[in-house]
Amino acid sequence: MQQQTKHLMALAQIDGLGPVSLQKLLDYFNNAEACFKASFFDLKNAGLDKKLINNIIAQRQKLDAEQLLSQTLKEGIDVITYFDKAYPKILKEIYAPPLILYYRGDLSILKYQSLAVVGSRKISPYAQNILPELLNEVINHQIVITSGLAYGVDALAHQIALESKGLTLAVTGSGLAWDYIYPSGNKKLAHTIIDNGGLIISEFSPFIKSMPFNFPRRNRIISGLSKASLIVEASQKSGALITAKYALEQGREVMAIPGPINLENAVGTNYLIKNGAKPITSAEDILESYGIIKSLEKLINNFDTKQATINELIILKTLKGVTLHIDKIIEHCTLDTSVTNSLLMQMELKGWVKNIGSQNFISLVKL
């Protein structure tokens, strides 16, 4: 296994050989060592273009796979590949998942559900006040807080998780060797995360400095590891909007905290809400998207079926004990789309059903 891992590590360092091209090679050669040692003609037969092939041949001569693995382990950094059992299944679902991940800390936290929390590096007092209130209840339900170790919202999210004795995961845009972790000012926070049962991961080789083009790649992992992404504050050009974009492409839910219309950091979040992101005004809003419905304590036990129309009862019976997207409700109930939309809106006003985000509904009545 180490033989394959070290060659995969070396291949991942070659310029231009990203996850998509590397996966193409692995599909053709079946193992990383064969990819690393392949001839020009074999690489061409695998479907790579001439420029990339020349890059591979020129750069692999300077790479010592054995030494790279040895230096990584000596640094106290562990490695997991796409082919290992412990590789997170949720990350395998995204486009171009990283084939190699470096990590420090407890890998077992990947078995828990995760919430990505990202936002501006220039955090406002408003966000500083409300974020602990929103996240504490989420953390109490063993949902991992995942972020990017950056200043501002990222660091605050990690700190809230630590102070609440919860779990947190940091994804970096740099290597994990201590002299390379970025930002260096959050190195102490990184140590604290590890010391408290958390995890720090990166797809970048341990001795790679942070570069601007690393962060979009990092952001796709933050959203890719998470069932939903919460955008706390974001200006019009914020990197947090890139995370939201990736989350949407990955089929994950995007949430955003509304903000004052005259606040620069609220421009991005308000834009997301206008375009379909779930507005978050309470911890309950977040928990609902994870199937944790505090409202169930308020189920209407004395619901009188005589209060409902035949079509409303059909919908309530369809939603009994399950969460369904509106398309599935329409399909199961064989009702017109416009009729179903109207009924669900009326039933939500009556407190019989609830939209828990992205047009997914639950019933709040006991039949």
Give the pLDDT confidence of 11-66 residue by residue, as tens digits. 998 988 989 999 999 999 998 999 999 999 999 999 999 999 999 999 998 999 99
Domain span holding position 358:
294-363
Q: Hey, what amino acid is at 221?
A: I
User: Quick one: DSSP state of residue 108?
Assistant: G
d(CA 41, CA 284) in angstroms, rounded, equals 58
Q: Given 288, 319, 350, which residue is the final one in a domain?
A: 288
Is residue 297 scored above 50 in pLDDT?
Answer: no
Is residue 293 scored above 70 in pLDDT?
Answer: no
CATH of the domain at 306: 1.10.10.10
Strands (E) across 172-252 are located at 199-202, 228-231
- Pair (155, 224) in one structural domain: yes
CATH of the domain at 136: 3.40.50.450
- Pair (280, 229) in one structural domain: yes
Mean pLDDT within 207-221: 94
pLDDT band for position 296 (cuts 50, 70, 90): very low
Cβ-Cβ contacts under 8 Å for 91 (sequence gap 6 or more): 97, 98, 221, 224, 225
Is residue 84 scored above 70 in pLDDT?
Answer: yes
Q: Given 17, 52, 74, which residue is the final one in a domain?
A: 74
Mean pLDDT within 322-337: 89
User: Quick one: DSSP state of residue 208?
Assistant: P
- Beta strands at 78-81 and 100-105: parallel, antiparallel or unpaired: antiparallel
- Pair (269, 301) in one structural domain: no
Q: At what angle do helices 326-333 and 337-349 cross, to 10 degrees?
A: 110
Contact 259, 236 (CB under 8 A): no
pLDDT at 307: 84
Structure tokens given for 71: 């230096």
For the chain, what is the largest distance between any 2 Cα atoms, rounded to a whole number of angstroms?
78
Mean pLDDT within 64-88: 94
- Pair (160, 266) in one structural domain: yes
pLDDT at 299: 56
CATH of the domain at 29: 1.10.150
At 93-131, the pLDDT tens digits run 999 999 999 999 999 999 999 999 999 999 999 999 999
Burial class (CB in 10 A: 0-12, 13-18, 19+), 234: buried
Count of structural domains within the chain: 3
Q: At what angle do helices 240-249 and 267-274 cross, to 10 degrees?
A: 20
- Pair (284, 332) in one structural domain: no
- What is the number of other CB atoms lying within 10 angstroms of the CB of residue 121? 15
At 258-279, the pLDDT tens digits run 998 888 999 999 999 999 999 9
Q: Give the rounded percent of residues in the chain with a pLDDT score beyond 70.
A: 97
pLDDT at 237: 85
d(CA 2, CA 52) in angstroms, rounded, equals 26
User: Quick one: DSSP state of residue 143?
Assistant: -
- Pair (267, 130) in one structural domain: yes
Dihedral sign for Cα atoms in the order 120, 123, 126, 130: positive
- What is the number of other CB atoms lying within 10 angstroms of the CB of residue 35? 25
User: What Cα–Cα distance (Å) separates residue 315 from each residue in 126, 127, 173, 241?
Assistant: 40, 39, 47, 36
User: Minimal CA–CA distance to 337: which of 347, 345, 327?
Assistant: 327
d(CA 210, CA 261) in angstroms, rounded, equals 33
Is residue 269 situated within a structural domain? yes
Is residue 87 situated within a structural domain? no
- Beta strands at 253-256 and 278-279: parallel, antiparallel or unpaired: parallel
Mean pLDDT within 152-172: 97
Q: Which helix (H) or strand (E) covers residue 354, if one does?
A: strand 353-355
User: Minimal CA–CA distance to 217: which of 97, 336, 302, 37?
Assistant: 97
Q: Given 239, 259, 288, which residue is the final one in a domain?
A: 288
Sheet with strand 353-355: strands edge to edge: 324-325, 360-363, 353-355
- Pair (165, 263) in one structural domain: yes
Mean pLDDT of the chain: 92
Is residue 82 situated within a structural domain? no
The predicted model scores a pTM of: 0.80
363: helix, strand or coil: strand
Is residue 177 scored above 90 in pLDDT?
Answer: yes
- Pair (243, 125) in one structural domain: yes
- Pair (323, 342) in one structural domain: yes
- Pair (279, 201) in one structural domain: yes
Q: Hey, what amino acid is at 82?
A: Y
- Beta strands at 199-202 and 228-231: parallel, antiparallel or unpaired: unpaired
